[in-house]
Structures are given as C-alpha cells and as structure tokens.
Amino acid sequence: MRRFLLGTTGGLSVAFQWLLLLSGAGLGETPDTQQIFKVFLSFLTISCRSLSALPRTRHYKRLTDDIYDSAQALYRCLFAMDLVISAEPGSGLHSYDCWGLVDGPVNLHWNVCLSWAIPAGLLLLSWCWVGKHGWLKALVVWGNVFFPPLVGTAAKILPCFSTQEARHTRILMYEAALGTKCVSSFSDMLGLSRFWLAAGTSLLLLLLGPLLWLALAACDPTKEHWERKDTVAFLVAGYKPNLRFWEVVVLSRKAAIFVVATVLPMSWAPGAHLVYLLGIIVVAELLHVTIQPYASPFLNRLEAQMLGISSACLVLVISLLVEWPFMPYAIYVTSSTLFFGLTVGVYIYFLCLYIRSALDKQPETSKADQAEEGDD
C-alpha cells in the first residue's frame, strides 16, 4: 500500500513539474508575471525543505493523533501532506535523504537514473509541446525548475554514507557509492568511477545552467531574433541593466540548498541541515537588501518578503525540532499552526498575485492586437 501511495504521489509530483515547465514557457507576457513565477519557485524550494523536517519534531505524532481524534477529515488532509513531504516537488523521490522509493538502504543506481530520467523526459515532452520555435526558452525554464535538484543528484554520488532506519533509530553506516570503497584523500578519489561520473554530470549542468544563462544575459536583446529575445527577457526582465546576470545568483542559491540536503540529509542531521539552509537564506536576504537587483521597488519588496518569510519558517521548524525540556505541547501546537499558516498563506498570496498580474495585462494585450489588426 505504501509503495502504491508513494508511486501515486511521485506521479502527481511529475505532473506538477511539467505544469511548472509549461507555465514558465508561457511567461513571455510581462516582467511582473515572470518574476512572480521565479520568486514563487524560490519559496517553493525552501518551504518544501521546511515541511520535510516537521515529521522529525518532538510532538508531531501526538499532533497528528489529536487531529485524527478531533476530525477524521482533517487527518486525511494531514496524511496527504505527509505524502507531499515524502515526494517533494523538484525531486519526485523520497527527498534527498539517501533513500530510495521504499524504506530501506539506498539503491543508488536506480535513484540516480530516475533523478535524471524524469527531468530529461519532461524536457523532451516540453520540446514537443512548444515546437521548434520555443525550444531554447523551454530549456531555460527547465533549468530553472530542475537544475537545483540535479545538482543535488550529482552531489549524492560523492558522499560515502547513507542512513538506515532500525526500530525508529537512525544508524550511520558507511556505504560506498557505485560499489566502490570510501577514500580519505582527493588523489585516491581520482581513481574512482563515481568521481568522474559526478564531474561529468556537474560539467553538463554547468553548461546547461549558469554558463548558458550568462551567455544569454550578455546578449543585446535589441539585436537578437525574436525567439531568442523572448528567452533573454525571461532571464533579465525586471533587473537593473548592470545586474542582468542576477538570475544566475538566484539559481546558485537554490542549487546550494539541494547540496546541503544531500551532504547533510534530514534523516541523519536534521538540525545541521536546517541551520545551513537558514544561513543560505540569511546571506541571500542581506545581499538582496544591500544590492536591490530589481528596477521595480515592488519586486524588490516581494523578493525581500519571500526571503524573510522563508527565514521565519526555518526558525519555527528549528524551534520545533530542538528538544526543549520545558516546551509545553500547547506551544508546539501554536508554533506548528503559525508555520502552516505562513506557508499556506504565502502560497495563496503568490497565486492571487500571479492571477492579478496576468489579468492586468489583458487589456493592454487586447489593445495591441486590435492595433495590429487595424494596421493590416
């Protein structure tokens, strides 16, 4: 039953990822809708990491039991949330937790192959959907959605450890990736096949992600063909002229989140995992507030608010995770409610913001179409 539920949730996650690709590929209308989409992706990445830590907090089991006793319908909603946590959007697997699709030791070959097969299949499907004129923008949007989790997949090849659950305890056991032995020096690692596999996939991701984005951001949109001009606009729209490359910085931040999720998996070091994520978000907040990369004050405020709420959510989860001997259950419930309220509220806010931005542009688009028809 559990395997069926995980498979169903994985399928929903794949469908969700394809919807992100199709939505991103169609965001050529206004700079606001493009930036709202990309800021939402950033919040989605960090909020999923926060949600994945909740089941490891002290009173989570008691909270779910109380909800089950008070309202069976609410419990089913919380159980559905458990399935979403176990198959996060962006990975389609059992999180970056050194685990396969079912409980037990990791099957690294299957894990790595599936991590690449799903994004590659969705990219081909998107190319078929948008046609030859939109392939470049589909590739850029694909990188925006899948580059961070694939960086985490590449980092997963290098660590020599995994975790195993035994009677509700976590045991660190050293297991060589791809059947090789763990090494203690970089020179020894050069002789391992997994090192060159990780290096090759990292180079490929570097070419399809930051280097491609930097090359497109350096292009002059006034001299480009309209197809490439639309792709360049997706990357640089809304940014100041001297900060057209800033989207690469945002992409690197999201990739760093997945590297932390791989090197410090939630099942082994949840506290360190969340603290490092909080450090990444705080540094990103300081850089954003200092540099103000957007030309629009509204977009600068939106990004700053997203990073601030992400930090608040991480702090709340860390406070729930810490084994405070004096934390009453009522405080745990209050903090959990605040965390869920913030997360769900931001999701609804982004949805309403995107719909309003998309509707605001409709009259201008209609007038432009009528003007073109009049010229004809």
Tell me: pLDDT of 326 over 60: yes
Q: Are 314 and 343 in contact (CB under 8 A)?
A: no
Query: pLDDT-based confidence at 239, cuts 50/70/90?
Result: confident
Instruction: Quote the pLDDT of residue 91.
Output: 41
Closest to 54 in 3D by CA, of 374, 368, 319: 319
Q: Is residue 307 part of a domain?
A: yes
State CA 319 to chain mean position distance. 23
Tell me: pLDDT of 8 over 60: no
Q: Is residue 365 part of a domain?
A: no
Report the run of H or E that residue 92 belongs to, with start and end.
none
- Tell me the pLDDT of the chain averaged across its residues: 70
Instruction: Quote the pLDDT of residue 371.
Output: 46
Give residue-wise pLDDT tens across range 30-83.
556 666 767 776 777 777 777 777 777 777 777 777 666 666 555 555 555 555
Q: Is residue 158 part of a domain?
A: yes
Lowest mean pLDDT among 33-47, 245-259, 304-318, 324-338: 33-47
Question: 333 or 301: whose pLDDT is higher?
Answer: 301
State CA 106 to chain mean position distance. 22
Q: What is the extent of the structural domain holding 69?
A: 2-360
Give residue-wise pLDDT tens across range 203-227.
999 998 889 888 888 876 666 565 6
Q: Is residue 203 part of a domain?
A: yes
Query: pLDDT-based confidence at 325, cuts 50/70/90?
Result: low
- What residue has token string 């606009």? 233
Q: Is residue 373 part of a domain?
A: no
Query: In one letter, which amino acid is 210?
Result: P
Q: Is residue 376 part of a domain?
A: no
Question: What is the rounded distance in angstroms from the CA atom of residue 175 to the CA atom of residue 99?
Answer: 13
Q: Is residue 350 part of a domain?
A: yes
Give residue-wise pLDDT tens across range 143-179.
888 888 888 888 877 655 444 444 444 444 444 444 4
Instruction: Quote the pLDDT of residue 102.
Output: 39
Instruction: Count the neighbouring beta carbons within 10 Å of the beta carbon of residue 13.
Output: 21
Tell me: pLDDT of 282 over 90: yes
Instruction: Quote the pLDDT of residue 320.
Output: 81
Q: List beta partners, residue 161.
A: 174
Closest to 133 in 3D by CA, of 231, 215, 40, 202: 231
Mean pLDDT of 253-275: 81
Instruction: Quote the pLDDT of residue 283.
Output: 93
> What pTM does this model have?
0.67
Q: Is residue 67 part of a domain?
A: yes
Structurally, the chain folds into a number of domains equal to 1
| Share above pLDDT 70 across residues of the chain, in percent, rounded to a whole number | 60
Mean pLDDT of 95-118: 57
- Please tell me whether residue 162 adopts helix, strand or coil conformation: strand
